[in-house]
Amino acid sequence: MARKPHPSSEPRQKKKLSAKQRGAYRLLLSCLLLAVVPTVFLVSYGLNQIALRGYGSHHPEVEIYDDARVFTDIRGNSLKNELEQLSFGQPVKLAILATNDVPTGNLNEATLNYARANHHEWLDGNGKKWAQGLVLISVSPQHRLVGTYFGENVKVPQKQQSDIQQSAKAYFRAGYWSGGVVAAANRSAHYVPGIYGPSDAYLVDLPVWCWGLSLLGAGNLIWGLWLCFSTRKNLRRARECVEHAKNRRGQAEKAFADIHHAGQYQKLLAMRHVQSARSLPRLQQHLDEFGVPGFCEALTQGVNDRSSALMRRAITLDHLNDVFICAAEFFNCRPGWEGVWMNEIGPVIEDLEVLARLADEAKKHVKTAEVSQVSDTTAQWIREQEASLQDLKDEIRQGSITPAGGLEKLEEISRDTRRRAQRVILLALKADPSSRGEERYRYWKEQQSRRGDSTIVPYKGRHYLGGMVSFYEPSTTILLNSQSAGVNLGSIKFSSSGTYIEPADGGHNWAIYSPIEGNHRAYLSAQTWKPGSGSSGSGDGSAGGYGASGGGFSGAGSSSSF
């Protein structure tokens, strides 16, 4: 008789926690952490702030010098009024400077020279430090630099200066200059010392771990609740999109069957149609299997990720119906074809606008005849292409060119736009007369080789046409771009930066375009790159941080790129 194996000899398998269990543990842990020191934290912090800040707060005296002309009102309120509402721990003068006059690429030096030329009151009596009570925020939109400078009685450590600058960078990268300044000024108000000493001094001996536990518990709970909210929102949106896609399926099928004279785009539309037909019932099945997660389950990251993926698939399928409906209107020149055409040219115009900025920035940064000539030639070519887009619309209306022929012309413009952007970038970096020009070129080449899908910048879905803002939907274009509905659903794959070309069935090459804004950002990064560090200032006010013209200036301050 065969002997049974001893229980201890059987391999033990770890039981994986369910989503419900992980959510319950998150909730329990958060409550325990929050209950450790809330009272001590609140009382100690309140006493600390009262002692350090005195009886009341101090609103700053604000001065704004917008030489770059980039600041705008905030929610109908002027930037000056927004800044005057901030509270500092002692009286300060808050000066804001926006300038593109940074000839050496050193914002510290440019800001100091500006103060010496225009505002002697920003300097102390000896001219070797910043004036008492001065908080100065300087930004160069063109050179992508931000700096912070402080009088001796209000100066903050280098780490806090970097944090102040960092708080503004997300706004600056988005072109929201007023918002970035407010964020930096608000962070400065937090760090600038009060009348009785530094703002981060502790009058109550509260261990650091108490703060950590309280913040960890609060953060863990808040994050879990946000995941729960986001999961339910994702699922609601996914189901709405699936129902909408089902209701419009018949209309989309009829439209697809009615697409004629699409030329080379007929097969591309057929591929996307197959994806749509296969994916819709499969997505419905996955949604049914997913169901409605309970509260504890919805507190976990894994469940949220799955719900987000389902939502993106549902939106894509809904947009695919739009593609077929729009394609039928366009290729058959039905009454709505002009609207479809305006949507198709959206990504092209947005790329042309980026190319125009790129050429202008290269011309301003690199003062060589070759770069200037290429930039001027590029600008002229852009104007010609913008005019040709209107001509193409008229030609389609008159029947002198087919809709498919119009799309082929758009593809030609897209290809030429990318080639010209590449040429401008290469020429500008190679011709950079600065001592680091060659190093920046090599840095840019290395960054290009490392770029992947995660670095692709999405189309904004808006552009300026005829002096007015025009909006479009990049996911519903017939021509493929990195955001097109169906690109990643099945047989059409997208995996690259810039332009990716992959043979489809039948040996035809489909070009999938990503925005050249990614190339533009890579160029800006290389243009201001410096080996070793992204900071151009010393942080402790040493003379070297203010360039060759500093003349022994030792005021506190630093700058960095964004």
Q: How far is CA 307 from CA 231, 292, 297, 303, 342, in A?
A: 6, 10, 12, 6, 33
- Which pLDDT score is estimated for 28? 78
CA 556 to CA 541: how far, in whole Å? 4
Where is pLDDT greater, at 539 or 276? 276
Nearest Cα neighbor of 148 from 182, 173, 184, 116 is 184
218, part of any domain: no
The pairs formed by 208-211 with CB atoms below 8 angstroms and a separation of 24 or more are: 210/36, 210/37, 210/40, 210/41, 211/41
43, part of any domain: no
Beta-bridge partners for 140: 145
Do 342 and 486 have their domain in common?
A: yes
Task: Count the domains in the chain.
Answer: 3
- Which pLDDT score is estimated for 137? 94
49, part of any domain: no
Do 459 and 519 have their domain in common?
A: yes
Which tokens hold the place of 271? 């591929």
- Which residue range(s) make up the domain with 244? 223-331
Do 309 and 355 have their domain in common?
A: no
CA 71 to CA 64: how far, in whole Å? 9
Give me the CATH number covering residue 97: 3.10.310
Do 326 and 428 have their domain in common?
A: no
141, part of any domain: yes
450, part of any domain: yes
Separation of CA 237 from chain center: 24
Residue 6 pLDDT > 60: no
10, part of any domain: no
CA 106 to CA 127: how far, in whole Å? 19
Backbone angles phi, psi at 74, to 5 degrees: -115, 110
Give the end of a domain, one of 268, 302, 331. 331
CA 68 to CA 555: how far, in whole Å? 24
Do 493 and 356 have their domain in common?
A: yes
Do 248 and 126 have their domain in common?
A: no
Beta strands in 112-226 (DSSP E): 134-140, 145-150
Do 401 and 309 have their domain in common?
A: no
What pairing do the DSSP bridges indicate for beta strands 462-465 and 145-150?
unpaired
16, part of any domain: no
Contact 536, 561 (CB under 8 A): yes
Do 65 and 139 have their domain in common?
A: yes
- Which pLDDT score is estimated for 8? 47
Q: What is the mean pLDDT of the chain?
A: 80
Residue 267 pLDDT > 80: yes
2, part of any domain: no
pLDDT digits (tens, 9 = 90+) for 204-262: 455 667 667 777 778 888 888 888 888 889 899 989 988 888 888 889 889 889 988 88
Which tokens hold the place of 375? 């930039």
Residue 294 pLDDT > 90: no
Do 494 and 366 have their domain in common?
A: yes
Q: How far is CA 220 from CA 123, 223, 230, 235, in A?
A: 46, 5, 15, 23
